Amino acid sequence: MCGIAGSYQFGSGPVPADDRISNALRYLAHRGPDDEGVYRNGRTVLGHRRLSVIDTSPAAHQPFTDDGGRFTIAFNGEAFNYQELRAELEAEGHRFRSQSDTEVVLRLFTLKGEGFLHELNGFFALAIRDAEKDELLIARDRFGEKPLWYCEQDGRLLFASELRALEALGAKGELDPHSLHQYFTFHYIPAPWSVLKGVRKLEPGELIRVNAKGLERSRWYDVVGAAKRTETSSDPRGRLRELLDDSVRLRLNCDVPIGAFLSGGLDSSIVSALAARHRTGLRTFSIGYAGAPYFDETRYAEDAARHIGSDHTSIRLSTDDLAAGYSDFLTSVDEPFADSSALPAFILAREARKHVTVALSGDGADELFGGYRKHQAQLRLSDPRSMDKAVIALRPLWRLLPKSRNNRITDMFRKLDRFATNAGGSNEQRWLNLADQDPDDDAKRLVPHPGSPLALSEREHQLSRGVKGLHGINGYLLADLETVLPNDMLHKVDLTSMAHGLEVRAPFLDHRVVELAFALPAEMKLRRGIGKAILREAFGDLLPPSIVARKKQGFEVPLRELLLGPLAGLQDELLREELVRAAGLDPHGAAAVLRRLRSSCPGDAQATVHALLVYMTWWKARRSMASAN
């Protein structure tokens, strides 16, 4: 895993010989602490920070140029099937000067052009320079595991793995009110948009061709089309097990210590169980909360670890431990991102990095196989025989009862209210309502002028387009795969792991597994009361019954306790009226959320206050960065 940055100058003027690329790479040093490289040629500048995982020798230094000197690549990611690809090329007479996957990737491009992307089984963001044609190709992996930001400004295309690095290259932009509204609604800003006007994120499965005339974007991967071409076989459970096991095998390949995250949930337990069969003495890691049993899953993780025989480490955090990690987490955020589970994920990655350089995770399974409670809600709401009319009829009652994630009872009221609220409306609107993390409509009060309602509506339509891409529940899963997974879940993984130079690999996101999942009928995945049914059937023999039968818990954090306790002073510091106004928000809206947090009926105020603290920390850091430059 690494970080990349670079630029391409349109027109005929000389490329500025300044230190911008060095500044950008400095902001990416945490992503690649082992090595740094810069390539300059003609219109193009490429920079690379390296985390050595495969071929740790200098022979794999990047940017990497082929023997003929025509093609140069800056590659962030891994091609897990590179050994098989290399063997095929060597059988055809090709020779290599390193043991790296990067050299194999570049050789494939020289032979197959853009079509080489379909050969790769892995995750990546990459840039390839063709010196002869004076062109640049930029591409992102199928499902958005690795990020890439870009913009066109002052006659140049700029791109980087993180927003701060892009700004160090010279990118400028005002705050985008549409994006701020989305941030306080979803707690992330979905691609292709960013918090800044004129700055965009490359979408999953997308590429950009760049030459002196300009740039052209296109989509190189379509999961729906790929799924339609996928054979499900007469034994889909057996086929799923075969593919996932092979995915784990491929993702265990590295030249550094490797382990796995083991939460005690079904998905990470399956991945860890398969990994333990391939690698004895597998290190596994989980995190929980001392004194907060409602949020703590470590006992389940320990049960799974004993069953599979892994060398397990449980990390139990107190409120003070969370508070101590909070400021470090805030400073790692380079675009506002307020999924509160990122905080324990950040601490877990920090602790795991003390023992391993690579970790496997269970990410992606919920989106593929219907693991979230909202998927059960969609199933029940779409069933004309549903007996949930009483829940819907009692919506006025649910609206009156206290609702929050703070304990089991108030969380149940919250879920009942959301279920009843989603009884009406189109399929697209139901999906948007369930993706909404702002049930109290704080976004409207915090961002009083979010821009054109039509523009916001168009953005919402684009986010939910997957609902119409496939029939029924599979459409909802597709929308989650295209929007929630890359912009929330995978962004969280990349942000929190790369802050510590830890590479996280998700075997469920092997494209073969994903394509099989979307070729399967929804009833094999989701049944009333049972999510991820096919996973339980295909892998149940590997796990203790307590894990196989477990319902989804979620990676929650005791956030309100944290905010009312050790982080109360941080709110006073960051949410001062004049500071909030200067940051483009309505201070009256912020004050109202704080009052609700401290009341006896807080709702989900803690989530909005957390979003405010993340945003204000980011805004202050960006202001300081601008002053320094």
Residue 331 lies in a domain: no
Residue range 206-220, pLDDT digits in tens:
999 999 999 999 999
Residues 24, 90 share a domain: yes
Residues 211, 233 share a domain: no
Backbone angles phi, psi at 140, to 5 degrees: -125, 150
Residues 171, 266 share a domain: no
Residues 255, 211 share a domain: no
Q: Which residue(s) pair with 49 in the sheet?
A: 3, 36
pLDDT band for position 420 (50/70/90)?
Answer: low
Looking at residue 49, its pLDDT comes to 96
Q: How far apart are CA 520 and CA 196, in angstroms?
A: 39
Residue range 453-499, pLDDT digits in tens:
766 677 877 877 778 777 788 999 999 999 999 999 999 999 999 99
Looking at residue 272, its pLDDT comes to 98
Q: Which of 62-71, 138-147, 317-326, 389-398 has the lowest mean pLDDT?
A: 389-398
The residue type found at 219 is: R
Q: What is the average per-residue pLDDT within 249-261?
A: 96
Looking at residue 544, its pLDDT comes to 95
Q: What is the mean pLDDT of the chain?
A: 90
Q: What is the average per-residue pLDDT within 221-238?
A: 92
Enumerate long-range contacts of 388-392, CB under 8 Å, 24 or more apart. Answer: 388/419, 391/416, 391/419, 391/420, 392/419, 392/420, 392/423
- Point out the domain boundary residue: 221, 253, 268: 221
**What is the number of domains present in the chain?**
2
Residue 617 lies in a domain: no
- The residue with greater pLDDT, 453 or 52, is 52
**70, 364, 590 from 267: Cα distances, Å:** 44, 9, 38
* DSSP notation for 355-392: T-SEEE--TTHHHHHT-SHHHHHHHHHT-TT--THHHH
Q: How far apart are CA 370 and CA 526, in angstroms?
A: 6
Residues 243, 207 share a domain: no
pLDDT at 610 over 80: yes
For 44, the domain range is 2-221
- The residue with greater pLDDT, 439 or 112, is 112
Task: Name the strand (E) or helix (H) holding 479.
Answer: helix 473-479
- Point out the domain boundary residue: 221, 236, 263: 221
Share of the chain above pLDDT 90, in %: 72
Residues 19, 77 share a domain: yes
Residues 250, 190 share a domain: no
**Side-chain-facing half-sphere of 381: CA atoms under 13 Å:** 26
Residues 252, 141 share a domain: no
Residues 283, 164 share a domain: no
Residue range 185-201, pLDDT digits in tens:
999 999 999 999 999 99
Residue 163 lies in a domain: yes
Residue 22 lies in a domain: yes
Query: Could you tell me the CATH number of the domain that includes residue 162?
Result: 3.60.20.10
- The residue with greater pLDDT, 350 or 416, is 350
Residue 451 lies in a domain: no
Looking at residue 619, its pLDDT comes to 97
Residues 170, 106 share a domain: yes
pLDDT band for position 398 (50/70/90)?
Answer: very low
Residue 359 lies in a domain: yes
Looking at residue 387, its pLDDT comes to 47
Residues 170, 82 share a domain: yes
Enumerate long-range contacts of 23-26, CB under 8 Å, 24 or more apart. Answer: 23/168, 23/169, 24/160, 24/165, 24/166, 24/168, 24/169, 25/49, 25/165, 26/168
| 3 state SS of 156 | strand
Residues 358, 502 share a domain: yes
- Point out the domain boundary residue: 221, 243, 278: 221
Query: Could you tell me the CATH number of the domain that includes residue 502?
Result: 3.40.50.620
Length of the chain: 629
Residue 454 lies in a domain: no
Residue 458 lies in a domain: no
